[in-house]
Structure 1
């Protein structure tokens, strides 16, 4: 448990100032703490542990490493504004433990982030838990009719009337020391989060969509965490048409590749390309000479790995038939492209009427999933996302009426931004089962 400390508790406080009153951004000078030592970090965590509102963001690199590498953490909590340097601080787990503390009273803290997918991933990696009380400004904006997914700069401009600094989007955040411009850019990702939260949550409450936002936030966190824990061998490009035994080889090679990538902190596809894995699976031989003869497998980087690759293939060949993976059977009946396009237009129409960003409701893949489910029902098939939760309430019922010919779309007013409207067809059943 962290104890709340006053601001004077910073015994090694490293207070700095960035003057950002430039380029007509509307920002004033900003004082912030630069957290660079373990003791400063411990003091800072204690100081913010009981703050009811914590806004944060991360800077990272992911282009050449197994997992995104955390390079900087920016925090705005009450009167505290800070940048945390993970390279000099060391273990940042205490900070993530604060954000994921599920023992605090529900609703007593809000943790604000924008487009929080990577932040969720870091929190889970360091603490093993989802963020408690997460408020994603990008998600919230989609529920009040603002475009989705909106960039942070777009939301800051619309909600706060300020312009974020530009020019550091391609920064190498590993490099030290960071420049004044880089820190300015990083800090402004968090200085307006609390104000944006206040405005967005007021609109969400006014539309009675707090439960929708909570549902979607939980869905996002679960999706990110599941992706962290799952084996994604089925996503190997080119493997969709393989036989069960070949898929088992893909699975074993994928596990081998993941372990090498994790150990060497490299991108998995830099260890072995997908097309080579598929070719190895098709050949189906653990013989190192045959492996070496596959075009692309003769390069020097594999010299010390032929035996390991052969062993992975041999292990896959030993798996009993009843334990082999099977691809999920595709549905035999597919909807016409015209019908899919019509329902996609319907999503946009419904969304605009409901003051929702269409992209947060669903996309073309969601429409195809729903059509497949409705036109070719099979026992045990998972319920499509457009028929579940808040989406089912606003979209599912309407879609089923459209498919039954009970609901139509017409042009209502060509001068309006949303010129279309739904109308009940004459003689249709006014209730939905």
Structure 2
């Protein structure tokens, strides 16, 4: 027989009663995102010290009792790469659990790996290898087999041991506060992104004029509304390249829009007048601040030499500190820090990531000392994995 799966309101109520008294709860989900506006939730797996079970959302009309139990309790909620799980919470009850612990982020503070797969984290930190074999499952199909449910439960089976292990490691490395700060920042970013009209993520808009960007903004808003009403992925309604082409041409005539090759093969072909109305709104609407927002600060070209010289220091510092470089920052972040320190950007408007919080402690301070001549870089062993050494410079 397959493992127990929650398929009735009565079973869900019993599970919620158990969860209310649990100090730590692991959670994971299985979903399909290819064919719908929001990912389609197909299975919820939960684990406590006494529970290892799965909830079948396709068999239940109302999952509110579960979501409310999870966000109202004072327990720790453990996830791995839990962005989508947080989005399910937000869409269901507009809240997230109080105490979040993402083991992927924790692994980045305890090793050089980030982002790391669940299997890799489990293997490295608790010495087990989660079962494989159902990666290509269509989780919408019913009934689920025992093998499928067993595979899904593997994704939560080790979350509590990982929480225990990382709690110890973070305390030993004196990084518990760093981790807490990163979890709060990550949570706030996910919440913000869930409601942000992020039209700037449309690919191919980098060289568009402000007026064309205004048209992109209007077309993006229309596409989101149309996709949500149809419950389809936005790019299935109108691909990015076609959206950008309409914005480039600035044509507010339905006939001329339909003359763009490729439009006739999209659902948008029946909405040519609405597309034309979007173009008209973009042509007549405001354009101010369109070049700001979330775009990276553009730095002067003379920073290239300093950036190329100091960017390799980022990886060396992180590897020696046993913290994942990709979680700390990028070469672009190093250039921004340099520009900030030598006065080329205003910190009141844009504070570089490497000048803030734990990132400043790990990397920013070292780069500051290099810029100030208080440290020097030399090659210690050209054959070593980390050949660079940062020596303190004694005052003359």
| TM-score, scaled to structure 2 | 0.91
1:48 corresponds, among 19, 26, 50, to: 19
Matched, 1:312 2:293: no
Question: Match of 1:409, SS?
Answer: strand
Contact 2:112 2:325 in 1 (8 A): no
Contact 1:246 1:281 in 2 (8 A): yes
Distance 1:415 1:299, change over 3 A: closer
Question: Match of 1:188, SS?
Answer: helix
Alignment correspondent of 1:78: 49
Alignment correspondent of 1:290: 256
List alignment gaps of at least 5 residues for structure 2: none
Alignment correspondent of 1:405: 373
CA distance in 2, matches of 1:378, 1:176: 57
Alignment correspondent of 1:422: 390
After superposition, residues 13-412 of structure 1 pair within 5 angstroms as 32-101=3-72, 108-145=74-111, 147-299=113-265, 301-319=267-285, 321=286, 324-328=288-292, 331=298, 333-334=300-301, 337=304, 339-375=306-342, 376-378=344-346, 380-412=348-380
Contact 2:375 2:392 in 1 (8 A): yes
CA distance in 2, matches of 1:265, 1:231: 18
Q: Report the CA distance between 1:63 and its aligned residue.
A: 2.1
CA distance in 2, matches of 1:419, 1:242: 43
Instruction: Choose between structure 1 and 2: higher helix proportion.
Output: 2
Contact 2:214 2:290 in 1 (8 A): no
Q: Report the CA distance between 1:280 and its aligned residue.
A: 1.5
Question: Match of 1:189, SS?
Answer: helix
Stretch deviating more after TM superposition (326-335 or 340-349):
326-335
Once the two structures are superposed, what CA deviation does each residue of 1:180-233 show, in whole Å capped at 9, x if it has no partner?
221111111111111111111011011221111111111111222221111111
* CA RMSD in angstroms, aligned pairs only: 2.3
Q: Report the CA distance between 1:48 and its aligned residue.
A: 1.0
Q: Relative CO higher for 1 or 2, CA cutoff 8 Å, sep ≥ 6?
A: 2
Contact 1:248 1:325 in 2 (8 A): no
Q: Report the CA distance between 1:139 and its aligned residue.
A: 1.0
List alignment gaps of at least 5 residues for structure 1: 1-15, 18-31, 429-433
Q: Report the CA distance between 1:261 and its aligned residue.
A: 0.9
CA distance in 1, matches of 2:340, 2:190: 25
Contact 1:143 1:213 in 2 (8 A): yes
Distance 1:146 1:246, change over 3 A: closer
Distance 1:69 1:404, change over 3 A: same
Alignment correspondent of 1:5: none
Contact 1:245 1:324 in 2 (8 A): no
Question: Match of 2:168, SS?
Answer: helix
Instruction: Tell me the number of residue pairs that the alignment of Structure 1 and Structure 2 aligns.
Output: 392
Q: Report the CA distance between 1:336 and its aligned residue.
A: 5.1
Contact 1:96 1:126 in 2 (8 A): yes
Stretch deviating more after TM superposition (338-347 or 352-361):
338-347
| TM-score, scaled to structure 1 | 0.84
Q: Report the CA distance between 1:317 and its aligned residue.
A: 2.9
